[in-house]
Structure 1
Amino acid sequence: MKKLIPFLLLLVLILSACGNQTTEDEGSSKKEDSSAKMVTYQSENGPVKVPKHPQRVVVLSEFAGNVLNLGVNLVGVDQWAKSNPLFKDELKGVEKVSADNLEKIIELNPDLIIGLSKTKNIDQLKKIAPTVTFTYGKLGYLEKHREIGKLLNKEEKANQWIKDFKKRAQAAGKKIRSKIGEDATVSVIEGSGKQLYVFGDNWGRGTEIMYQEMKLNMPQKVKDMTSDKGYHAISPEVLPKYAGDYIIFSKKPDADPSFQKTDVYKNIPAVKNDHVFEIDARKYLNDPITLEYQLDVIKKAFLDK
């Protein structure tokens, strides 16, 4: 028994030392994990400390589809994302928020906020969580997704999607040009009643896909009038001057269709030739989820008829 007691004491000391070492190792590991949680993102306004792996993101702009595509958790989005039918299932349980209701955003306890440079109350938002903003149109539509990927530590995933999407869109464009002719023109319009809009090559509604990737031709009149702002407002009466051989009509479900019953509209060659294809105007953005929808609609419109 006397020999057993010193052995037991030695065993206790060894176990105690091991336990202390484990605790120290765990503490060291926690410190390392803690220091690795924040990284510096080089935003257009300078460096911003952001979570390396954000878990509770609030989007106050057009980037909800980008974040969803990259598999990062959203806790709050603006009304435009909430009303997009393409996001309906993915945004179940995600709160609708706005920069005008800071209290609601605080309640969501975000660890990252993403917005546009024109988003309201940016200084106050920065006090709630790291906030990164982008200037609309400053980046190309695919470069924008790459930047969101960098911000969310998902750049490789973003690059993979970009490469695959460009390949598919360009292949479809080659088939479309072969079918409709290399010189055929395509215009994109939206609106109803007394006000219509035509769009350039970087204004959603499938414009990036058709003009940038597929290399379809924009009518010269549209090109001239959208070169500054990216879009141009017109009256239904002058639509024939802007209409291409084919028309993509971005149309809201509740839009006033009266101008489509006028002789001016009916006599447009694209209308007479049944070359008008409708796209849901609520799905107008250029995030990956919406782009996939638009690509599908464009392919079916030009190749499945």
Structure 2
Amino acid sequence: MKKTLLLLSLVFICVLSACGGPAAQPQQPAAAAGNETAPVNKELKIASLSIHLTNNLLALGVTPVGSVIGGDLKAFLPHVADRLTNTKPLGVVTEPDMETLLSLKPDLIFADKQYAGEVSKYEKIAKTVVFDLDDGTWRDHLKKVAKIVNREQQAEDFIKADQAQTERVKQLLHNKIGDGTVMAVRITAKELRVFGARRPMGPILFEDLGLKPAKGVEKISKDKAFDVISQEVLPDYDADAIFVVVNNEDGAKKLYAQLQNSPIWQGLKAVKAGHVYPIPDQPWLDYSAIGHKMSLDDAEKFLAK
């Protein structure tokens, strides 16, 4: 009987010890289902079918496994090429290399609505996210990308730094031209173009930097990035400052040289005042987070002279 009581006592003590001790903690999942901002175990393999979306990824420190290339260059854009050494070229945006895209086995595909066409062909390879780059600003696009790749804080930091840099460039421009009006032109081997308010040039000049568009710029259709004009109408714009993009081709350089030597060009108010600012096509025509920052970097350099 004593042995039985002793055995029962020992069992009772063990039960009490178990109840009073700490319970085993369940392991936390790496990512909560349905929560896009939860941390993930691995970086997503993203294939980008837009040079601008590629550059928004790079701004967040994310390198895509594959990306389309510049249509004219037939290569990655020069201002980001050094960041894409481990990225597979996927051809031009109008005709992506589907075979290479398939071989990359991406987790996600980013596409530009303007060029995406039938999205189902990409959905057969991986989940596809389509961006309308005409909806909102590059900041909105960056935030959308950041939410998908869980880099929202990086996006906020990038935008905050960009705002400070934009204010610096604004002041430099004001020191040069005051409240003067501005136009931006592009010279190709065949034609002379004037940029309107639409991306790529309009937003950075007339929205971000708050410059006043020259006469007639506001008349350019919101559905077009530019109008083609003749040299003879340049004086009608009466711009106090002109930003000039010359294509990197012999024909364009020759046409610009001819324009510079013409009485029409030499008679322009901006030319007489020394307010003509040559700018490279890249990064200025890259409407992305990185394109915007590098354009401001360029502006700070030439405006400080």
Within 1, Cα distance between the matches of 2:301 and 2:96?
41
Residue 108 (structure 1) aligned with residue 101 (structure 2): no
> What does residue 55 of structure 1 align with?
44
> What does residue 292 of structure 1 align with?
293
CA contact (8 A) 2:197 2:222 kept: no
Within 1, Cα distance between the matches of 2:148 and 2:196?
28
Within 2, Cα distance between the matches of 1:109 and 1:101?
13
CA contact (8 A) 1:195 1:236 kept: no
The Cα shift of 1:264 comes to: 2.3
User: For this pair of structures, how many residues does the alignment match?
Assistant: 266
Which protein is bigger by CA-based radius of gyration?
2
Which region of structure 1 is more displaced relative to structure 2, 268-277 or 65-74?
268-277
Change (3 A) 1:136 1:243: farther
Matches within 5 A, 1:26-45: 32-33=29-30, 36=32
Question: How high is the sequence identity, in percent, across the aligned residues?
Answer: 25
Other structure's SS at 1:189 match? strand
What root-mean-square deviation, in Å, do the aligned CA atoms of Structure 1 and Structure 2 show?
A: 2.7
Residue 72 (structure 1) aligned with residue 65 (structure 2): no
User: Which of 207, 211, 234 matches 2:206?
Assistant: 211
Other structure's SS at 1:85 match? coil
- Paired amino acid for 2:47: V
Matches within 5 A, 1:48-197: 54-61=43-50, 62-80=52-70, 82-98=75-91, 99-117=95-113, 118-182=115-179, 184-197=180-193
- Paired amino acid for 1:103: E
Within 1, Cα distance between the matches of 2:100 and 2:121?
13
- Paired amino acid for 1:90: R
> What does residue 11 of structure 2 align with?
none
Other structure's SS at 2:70 match? helix
The Cα shift of 1:250 comes to: 1.6
Residue 220 (structure 1) aligned with residue 215 (structure 2): yes
CA contact (8 A) 2:182 2:239 kept: yes
* TM-score normalised to structure 2 length: 0.77
The Cα shift of 1:40 comes to: 5.8
Within 2, Cα distance between the matches of 1:295 and 1:256?
24
CA contact (8 A) 1:201 1:208 kept: yes
Change (3 A) 1:246 1:130: same
CA contact (8 A) 1:76 1:105 kept: yes
- Paired amino acid for 2:276: V
Structure 2, unpaired ranges of 5+: 1-23
User: Which of 242, 247, 251 matches 1:247?
Assistant: 242
* TM-score normalised to structure 1 length: 0.77
Change (3 A) 1:226 1:295: farther
- Paired amino acid for 1:177: H
- Paired amino acid for 2:112: L
- Paired amino acid for 2:194: V
Within 1, Cα distance between the matches of 2:116 and 2:244?
29
The Cα shift of 1:68 comes to: 0.6
